[in-house]
Structure 1
Amino acid sequence: MEKILIAGATGSTGKRIIEILNNSQSFDPVAMIRKEEQKTIFDDMEVKWVLADLEGDVSEAVKGVDKIIFAAGSGGSTGPEKTDAVDRDGAIKLIDAAKKAKVKKFIMLSSMGADDPAAHEELKHYLEAKAAADEHLRKSKLKYTILRPGRLTDDMGLGKVNLAEKLDDLGEIPRDDVAFLLIMSLADPLLPNMTVEAIEGEEPIKSAMIELSRG
C-alpha cells in the first residue's frame, strides 16, 4: 500500500479525499492536521494523522510518505497575508520537503485562472499565490500533476468532467469529482507532469484522464 499524505485534510475537499482513500485497497491515507484537537475526526475514521502546520515546520510530516495531495487553501477571502502563508509559502515549503524526502509524486490542487490572475481582479492575489506554488512544483523535478478546477460546489458528483490543458469556460465542478480527479492522479501513468483544468462535463473522469494523458 502507498502512504498518501493529504495536506488540507480538514477542509471540505480534503475530507472527501480521505473518505475515498480510506476505502481503497491501494492507498493508506495520512491526514495532515494543524491542531491536535482535530485528530478526533480521523481517529473516529481509523485514519492515521500527523501534526504539522504549513506555516511552520513540515519536515516530519513527509517522512515515510510515498505521495502527497495538496488540497489546502485559504479560500481566497482570508486576506493577502494568510493567502501567501498557506497557498504560496506553505505549498512551496511542502514541495521542498517532499523533494528532500524523495516523495514519488506531488498532486497539487490549484485553481482555474492561475494562469492569468490579472483577469480576475477580486481573486488576483489568491491566484498569484497559486500560480507561484504551481511554478515551483513544475521546477522541483518531482513527478507532479497540477489540477485547476473551476468554482467548487457541494453538489453531488456525477463522475463526468470536461478536462483539458486549457478550457475557455470557467464553469463549476462538484468537490466530489475534484476529489476523484486528485486521487486518480496518484496513478503514475495519468496526467504525468501536466497542468490541467476541469469543470463538470459529459465525459467519465477515468476516460477523460486517459485520453488527455495520451495527448
Structure 2
Amino acid sequence: MNVAVIGANGGIGRRLLPRLDQAGHDPIGVVRSDEQFDAIRERGGEPRLGDLEEEVAPALEGADAVVFTAGAGGSTGWDKTILVDLWGAERAVTACAEFGIDRFVMVSSRGAGDPESRQGPIKPYIVAKHVADRSLQRSPLEETILRPTRLTDEEGTGRVAAHFGTDPETGPPIPRDDVAQAVVACLENKDTVGHAVTLYGGDTPIEEAMQEAS
C-alpha cells in the first residue's frame, strides 16, 4: 500500500515511516522543504514536497491511503493552528476525495470529540481538531481517527489502552512510537474504519487493542 504521511518529519511521522516500510508498505513522506528529503529517504520513505499552508494536493497523487499527523506546534500562534491543524487537514481530505484516495487516518487529540469539556489555553487547539475530525467524518472517505493523550518521547511499549467511541478524561501518557504503531495497525485492520479511538498508555498489545473495533 502506498501511504502518504503528512507531517512526516514530525514527532510521530519520523517514527511512522520506518514502521510502514518494515510492514511492507511504501511510505511517502510529505514535507515542507527539500532539505528534509535525505532524512525521509533514510527512514524508508519517498520524499515529496507539500505545504499545508500553500499546496499539498499534488504530493498525495498515487497514494492508496493518507495519514495526517501534522501540527503547527505549541510554539506558534493560533493563526498557525487554524491554517495547519484545521484548514490544512480539511484541504488534505478534499484532495483525497478528488484523487479517489479512500483511506484516511487522522492523528487528532484526546478531547476533540467534545471540545466543550475542555477549558483554558488549550481549548482553541481542541476546537480546531474537532472541526477537522468532523469534516473527515462527513466526507466519503474510509476514516479512522486516533485521539492520543499527552505524548512522550519515551521508548514505545507496544501496548496501549484504546477506547472506541468514548473519551476518558484521565490515563497514562503515551509514547509517540506507540501511536505510530497504532496507525499501522489501523491501516491493516478495516474494522477500524468509522471509529474514533482515544489512546492512552496501557497494557493491551496494540494489534489486539485495534481488534476491539470488530
Structure 1 length as normaliser, TM-score? 0.93
Q: Return the alpha-carbon distance in structure 1 between the equivalents of residues 52 and 103 of structure 2.
A: 19
Gaps of at least 5 residues in structure 1 are none
Q: Equivalent residue for 1:143? A: 142
Q: Of residues 53, 56, 59 in structure 1, which corresponds to 2:57?
A: 59
Q: Equivalent residue for 1:173? A: 174
Q: Equivalent residue for 2:68? A: 70
Q: Equivalent residue for 1:200? A: 201
Q: Secondary structure at the match of 2:86?
A: helix
Q: Return the alpha-carbon distance in structure 1 between the equivalents of residues 184 and 74 of structure 2.
A: 24
Q: Equivalent residue for 2:155? A: 156
Q: Which runs of 4+ in 1 moved over 4 A?
A: none
Q: Aligned-pair RMSD on alpha carbons?
A: 1.4
Contact 1:137 1:144 in 2 (8 A): yes
Q: Equivalent residue for 2:133? A: 134
How far is 1:76 from its partner? 4.0
1:98-122 deviations in whole A, cap 9, x for unaligned?
0111112000000001123342312
1:118-168 deviations in whole A, cap 9, x for unaligned?
423121111111101000000011001000000000111111111112224
Between stretches 183-192 and 83-92, larger displacement belongs to 183-192
Contact 2:105 2:145 in 1 (8 A): yes
| 1:175 counterpart letter in structure 2 | R
Q: Return the alpha-carbon distance in structure 1 between the equivalents of residues 181 and 119 of structure 2.
A: 27
Q: Equivalent residue for 2:103? A: 105
Contact 1:170 1:199 in 2 (8 A): yes
Q: Secondary structure at the match of 2:151?
A: strand
How many residue pairs get matched?
A: 211
| 1:125 counterpart letter in structure 2 | P
Between stretches 51-60 and 72-81, larger displacement belongs to 72-81
Structure 2 length as normaliser, TM-score? 0.94
Contact 1:8 1:33 in 2 (8 A): yes
Q: Return the alpha-carbon distance in structure 2 between the equivalents of residues 16 and 51 of structure 1.
A: 19
How far is 1:77 from its partner? 4.1
Contact 2:113 2:130 in 1 (8 A): yes
Q: Return the alpha-carbon distance in structure 2 between the equivalents of residues 180 and 45 of structure 1.
A: 15
Give identity over the alignment, percent: 37
Distance 1:107 1:46, change over 3 A: closer
